[in-house]
Amino acid sequence: MPDVTIPALGMAMTEAILTHWYKEPGDAVSAGEAIAEIETDKSAVDLEAPASGILGEHLVAEGAAVPVGTLVTQILEAAETGTRDVPPAAAEPQAGHGDASAAASPEVTVHSDGPDGHSDGPDGQPGTDARSPRAPHALSPRRRRQARLAAEGEAEGEGNDDGEAGQAPRPATAPSARHRAVIAERVSESWRTIPHFAVQREIDAREAGSCLAAMRVRQPLATYTDLLLRAFALAIGTVAQAGTVAQAGTVTGANADVGLAVATQDGVMMPVISSVPSLDMPGLVAARTAAVRRAREGRLSAHDLASQAVGSLSNLGARGVDAFTGIVPLGQHLLLTVGRVAPRPVVADGQLAARLTLIATLNVDHRYLDGDQAADLLEAFDREFGASRAWAQKGDR
């Protein structure tokens, strides 16, 4: 009788909100199938069945905030019935969230977001009741949450406030306030506990600019961000192999994961692109657009939340920003912030000229890298960013 508990997704996670049950007691489930939706302080995540069998009783009501490790149901064999006793705090619906009937708020069908997550499709026509037996969900999880919140008269938003381990399930507070409070706490903790410093370099972008133009012939969704991600991942791998990020995990030139800061209506989310240096050009474009989509839909994966990425990229170039610094994400050691690619005056061979450049700022945790290693990493990034054409042409065949 395998237990299903609230997992720890990330070093700072202490609780999650069980927002929705996909499966009812007595339903047949397969190993790896989503049985419920939980919402962490960063994103909504599907809770998956650890084994195939029959779903036991719901031990936590929808809308309850539940500490990590709490038993929420069990997977039974066909001959088994019942589960452990339901904890009193979880057996009754939470105030303001109701029981299963509260999920009967109207469902609507929507078109999926665009491939890069930058535009929402229009809403479709009303669908069936969300809790009709075995009814499939035609609505994205983000829209389902918004529909439920609207039906309950609460504000729309994402996120969860921090709680202490060992607390019984309790009602969630207003989502928008929760999310902003969590962001404030995480940023403050990072700034308070990580000794930050930054190094900056102007990067020649002429070769990358022509490379991107060629990429877009076959991959219209390609952006500078794809080239930046790859160059940053290769630079991290180079520095890791040199032994200067020895405490940053088992990063190699081939398996470096890179986080990507994505702006959403509920704040910045940080999906992770896995093994960036091993991806060809179409694969990286697809992985980056999928990551942006997950963030915009509020559906980060378990890997996004638990990845041991050494660093992340934040690109505000599309917003007209020339250069900026940032705060290293908790659990990581680097944040590369880049501004817009634009013609800037440079001195070449003693002559003043205009060249396409960008300004890159590497924000560093001083406990892991010193200034000379940070300079090495930024130099490697400059080199890799300017040598993207061979990779792009190889992946474009």
Residue pair 37/20 in contact (Cβ under 8 Å)? The answer is yes
Distances (CA, A) of 291 to 40, 43, 160: 17, 13, 21
- The token duo for 262 is 């994505």
The mean per-residue pLDDT over the stretch 151-180 comes to 42
DSSP at 99:
S
The percent of residues in the chain predicted with pLDDT above 70, rounded, is: 69
**Distance (Å, whole) CA 286 – CA 272:** 13
Q: Where does the pLDDT of residue 303 fall: very low under 50, low under 70, confident under 90, or very high at 90 and above?
A: confident
**Distance (Å, whole) CA 312 – CA 271:** 9
Lowest mean pLDDT among 187-191, 197-201, 229-233: 187-191
Evaluate if residue 71 carries a pLDDT over 80: yes
Which pLDDT does position 114 carry in this prediction? Answer: 36
Per the model's pLDDT, the better-predicted residue between 112 and 198 turns out to be: 198
pTM for the whole structure: 0.66
SS3 call for 1: coil
Which pLDDT does position 98 carry in this prediction? Answer: 37
How many CB atoms are closer than 10 A to CB 338?
27
Distances (CA, A) of 106 to 94, 99, 138, 158, 231: 20, 16, 12, 19, 46
Which pLDDT does position 186 carry in this prediction? Answer: 84
SS3 call for 353: strand
Hey, what CATH class is 196-395 in? alpha beta
Architecture of the structural domain at 3-185: Beta Barrel (2.40)
The mean per-residue pLDDT over the stretch 100-125 comes to 32
Give residue limits of the domains in the chain: 3-185, 196-395
Evaluate if residue 97 carries a pLDDT over 50: no
> For the chain, what is the mean pLDDT?
76
Distances (CA, A) of 367 to 246, 325, 334, 364: 11, 18, 11, 9
The pLDDT tens digits for 333-373 are 999 999 999 999 999 889 999 999 999 999 999 999 999 99
The mean per-residue pLDDT over the stretch 23-34 comes to 92
